[in-house]
């Protein structure tokens, strides 16, 4: 039975997360995996040496600066519809990075992704994040570990020990969670990599984790469609937040494009 956007939103409200099974087309998974391997090679990506990023985990940040099919990721329809329902349609790309958990990696400390935002019981949430499975995610290869229901509580103690469940899912599936949910990457006890794409969003009124306006050249953003331009932070949230002399960054910096809304400034309506 096909699950609706509302089914997924209900599940996030109840337990803090949901999985959209096999929503990423096979060819997109293949192309992203191949391009990620190329980028890791060309950028000389190697594991960091800290507990959060992992010591056998390879990450590439700022993927939207690298062309290829990465611009398709933030706007994949069934996933973005759920994120819009959790945040709202003025939400932003907060970061887009890869998480390749290699054999022998131990579990990442449990954390919540809004941990560093100084907000208490955010309603609506400040963050809504997603993890794309480019390989199957299993309990043994490092599937994301979750604490169901923890999105309703306080922030976790970083490094604390908590009962978790693995988000097992076949390749092509996407895990979506409320930014307060306690979670972490799992340990990989297999001989193969677990490859995920962390496609993270935040509310339109907070600062993005990766600076999308500096990290991705405006010439690259100029080729993005109207929704992705706004997700990058080139729009004006609620007619006020992010304006430049009462114009959007899109109007100031990018060539006009059909379908781009004309952001009126909120004061003009009063």
Ligand X SMILES: O=C(O)CCC(=O)C(=O)O
Give me the residues that bind ligand X (CB under 6 A), please: 99, 108, 131, 144, 183-185, 196, 198
Q: Between 144 and 150, whose beta carbon lies closer to ligand X?
A: 144
Q: Between 183 and 229, whose beta carbon lies closer to ligand X?
A: 183
Q: How far is the CB of 228 from ligand X (least distance, A)?
A: 23
Q: How far is the CB of 152 from ligand X (least distance, A)?
A: 19
Q: How far is the CB of 168 from ligand X (least distance, A)?
A: 12
Q: How far is the CB of 109 from ligand X (least distance, A)?
A: 10
Distance CA 135, CA 98 (A): 12
- HSE, side-chain direction, 13 A CA sphere, residue 68: 20
Q: Between 156 and 204, whose beta carbon lies closer to ligand X?
A: 156
Q: How far is the CB of 131 from ligand X (least distance, A)?
A: 5
Q: Residue 50: what are its φ and ψ, rounded to 5°? A: -150, 165
Q: How far is the CB of 230 from ligand X (least distance, A)?
A: 24
Instruction: State the DSSP H helix or E strand holding residue 190, giving kind and residue range, or none if neither.
Output: none
CB under 8 Å to 216, separation ≥6 — which residues? 62, 64, 65, 232
Q: Between 108 and 150, whose beta carbon lies closer to ligand X?
A: 108
Instruction: State the DSSP H helix or E strand holding residue 60, giving kind and residue range, or none if neither.
Output: none
Q: Between 166 and 226, whose beta carbon lies closer to ligand X?
A: 166
Helix axes 5-15, 77-86, angle to 10 degrees: 50
Distance CA 102, CA 111 (A): 20
**Cβ-contact 199, 212 below 8 angstroms:** no
Q: Between 98 and 260, whose beta carbon lies closer to ligand X?
A: 98
**DSSP annotation string for 166-181:** E--B-TT-EEEEETT-
Distance CA 12, CA 14 (A): 5
């Amino acid at each position: 039975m096909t699950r609706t956007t509302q089914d997924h939103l209900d599940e996030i409200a109840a337990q803090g997360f949901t999985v959209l099974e096999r929503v990423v087309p096979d060819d997109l998974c293949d192309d992203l995996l191949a391009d990620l391997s190329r980028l890791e090679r060309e950028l000389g990506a190697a594991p960091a040496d800290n507990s959060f990023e992992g010591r056998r985990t390879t990450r590439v940040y700022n993927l939207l600066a690298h062309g290829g099919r990465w611009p398709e990721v933030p706007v994949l329809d069934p996933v973005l519809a759920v994120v819009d329902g959790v945040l709202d349609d003025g939400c932003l790309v907060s970061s887009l990075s890869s998480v390749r958990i290699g054999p022998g990696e131990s579990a990442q400390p449990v954390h919540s992704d809004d941990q560093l935002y100084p907000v208490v019981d955010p309603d609506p949430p400040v963050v809504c994040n997603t993890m794309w499975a480019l390989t199957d995610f299993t309990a043994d290869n490092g599937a994301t570990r979750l604490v169901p229901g923890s999105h309703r509580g306080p922030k976790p103690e970083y490094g604390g020990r908590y009962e978790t469940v693995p988000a097992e899912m076949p390749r092509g599936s996407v895990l979506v969670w409320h930014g307060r949910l306690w979670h972490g990457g799992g340990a990989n006890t297999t001989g193969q990599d677990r490859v995920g794409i962390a496609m993270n969003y935040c509310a339109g009124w907070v600062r993005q984790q990766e600076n999308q306006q500096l990290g991705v050249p405006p010439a690259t953003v100029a080729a993005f469609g109207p929704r992705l331009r706004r997700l990058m932070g080139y729009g004006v949230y609620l007619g006020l937040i992010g304006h430049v002399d009462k114009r959007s960054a899109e109007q100031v910096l990018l060539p006009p494009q059909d379908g781009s809304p004309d952001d009126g400034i909120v004061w003009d309506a009063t």
